[in-house]
Amino acid sequence: MRFVWPYGGRSVFLSFSFTGWTEHIPMSPMEGCPTVFQVICSLTPGHHQYKFFVDGQWRHDEHQRSVSGNYGVVNTVFVPRELYMDPPVFDLETSGSNMELDDVFSRTEAIARVSEADFQVSHHRISAFLATHTAYELLPESGKVVALDVNVPVKQAFHILHEQRVPMAPLWDFLKGQFVGVLSALDFILILRELGNNGSNLTEEELETHSISAWKEGKLHLSRQMDGNGRAHPKHLVHAGPYDSLKDVALKILQNKVSTIPIIHSSSRDGSFPQLLHLASLSGILKCICRHFRHSASSLPVLQLPICRIPLGTWVPKIGESNAQPFAMLRPNASLGDALSLLVQAEVSSIPIVDDNDSLLDIYSRSDITALAKDKAYAQIHLDEISIHQALQLGQDANSPYGFYNGQRCQMCLGSDPLHKVMEQLANPGVRRLLIVEAGSKRVEGIISLSDVFNFLLG
């Protein structure tokens, strides 16, 4: 392997953990580039550390992977037993690397290899970033947050979320003087299912006067969350403060299985007069990670791995995989009732809609339920009599003809895409899941969510 020191000097030596840091290997200036020093070394497979001794001072390359050890900050390199070409991890001309592969063997299936030590370094750096940065960094320079009073009628709240194009809103209780919960698309799924049940006490007319607080009271009994005495108990509002770490915010979202949590600030010790600042989500936190490490991707070697080589996401079971997790997909002629039931039972935010060859046509998301508020469509349909295709058409604008496979709705990736590319896609607003498709055919192979990525990065 050839190592390069491109930052000048009069005399430059290379020292390795492989030699116990006792041997200084002289490096020579490159022909035509007197400020660039190089040396070729023969290394055994495994993980190695190295430093440069430049003009009598120990130096490390700040643009390459490094860790803190017994000898200060040192650069690291992993030498696999077999070298692979795709994707190139070290590229002298494009990334300013101080190392390039002198001999590379071409393989039919080219796979990037990362050592266990590299995994640990990547996890440590991401975890350290999240622990030292706060939710305050998620706040936009300007914007608005929609909140609802608990006394607002359910029907009106349904229409507000549709008109404001938001999937959920925090709930404010004026008498208590605090935020007490969240109204989400899941609530409307449950309400519509109740309306569709025979003998339900919740009629469409009652939605006119049935308040959010009354619905939440009824939901306690529907949720079957009972304590040892058989009494229903409500969930407390999951929220965070602006000075909570990004790691704490991410863990709250993951552990409570919610998509967003309110960022609430109060200058009083008793929490009175709270201010709703923002709705924090995993995509916002992921955007911070991508922005912070964008120009130092080499310090996170795990991000170069293709997602098909990482224990990440849910994949369509292959033949013979009897223990594989089931994968939820529906045909376009399936009923809306089936889709809503699957969204609740599978605890997912969206379901791929595929044809008979499992090729992607569209998706149906929890947030699509608010489209039924348009022209009071929910009052004119029966969940088991309307297909997913027809339900999606209800949400289309008159001047925007409906068609399967809407590029803005169906966010996709390939199994060969590196993790950093997938993270950048998921960091976009409104994108919570990516469909993993087969190149060319658009056949669905799996799905990867924001929670999948964070469970992996923080694991």
**Domain enclosing residue 58, as ranges:** 2-79
Stretch 266-283: mean pLDDT: 89
* 448 shares a domain with 309: yes
* 351 shares a domain with 263: no
Q: How far is CA 76 from CA 22, 62, 67, 116, 457, in A?
A: 17, 11, 7, 13, 20
Q: How far is CA 255 from CA 236, 252, 288, in A?
A: 14, 5, 20
Stretch 356-363: mean pLDDT: 86
**CATH number of the domain enclosing 267:** 3.10.580.10
**Range with lowest mean pLDDT among 228-237, 282-291, 319-328, 393-402:** 393-402
Domain count, the chain: 3
The pTM for the full model equals 0.68
Beta strand pairing status for 350-354 and 28-30? unpaired
- pLDDT of amino acid 379: 75
State whether the Cα torsion 181-186-190-195 is positive or negative: positive
Mean pLDDT of the chain: 78
Instruction: Answer whether the bond into residue 87 is a cis peptide, omega within 30°.
Output: yes
* Statement: residue 401 has pLDDT above 50: no
* 453 shares a domain with 386: yes
* Statement: residue 150 has pLDDT above 90: yes
* 335 shares a domain with 242: no
Q: Give DSSP secondary structure letters for 335-387.
A: BHHHHHHHHHHTT-SEEEEE-TT-BEEEEEEGGGGGGGGGGGGGGT--TTTSB
* 73 shares a domain with 176: no
- pLDDT of amino acid 99: 41
- pLDDT of amino acid 326: 63
Residue 107 lies in a domain: no
- pLDDT of amino acid 231: 54
- pLDDT of amino acid 406: 43
* Statement: residue 2 has pLDDT above 70: yes
* Statement: residue 112 has pLDDT above 90: no
The more confident residue out of 34 and 99 is: 34
User: Residue 222 half-sphere exposure, CB side, CA atoms within 13 Å?
Assistant: 17
Stretch 108-114: mean pLDDT: 39
Residue 86 lies in a domain: no
pLDDT tens digits, 123-140: 888 988 999 999 999 998
Residue 293 lies in a domain: no
* 306 shares a domain with 252: no
Residue 332 lies in a domain: yes
* 260 shares a domain with 323: no
* 419 shares a domain with 323: yes
For residue 398, name the pLDDT band (cuts at 50, 70, 90): very low
Residue 402 lies in a domain: no
* 369 shares a domain with 241: no
pLDDT tens digits, 58-100: 899 888 888 887 778 888 887 775 443 333 333 333 333 344 3
Residue 10 lies in a domain: yes
The more confident residue out of 76 and 173 is: 173
Stretch 249-275: mean pLDDT: 90
* 452 shares a domain with 362: yes
pLDDT tens digits, 178-191: 999 999 888 888 88
* 280 shares a domain with 391: no
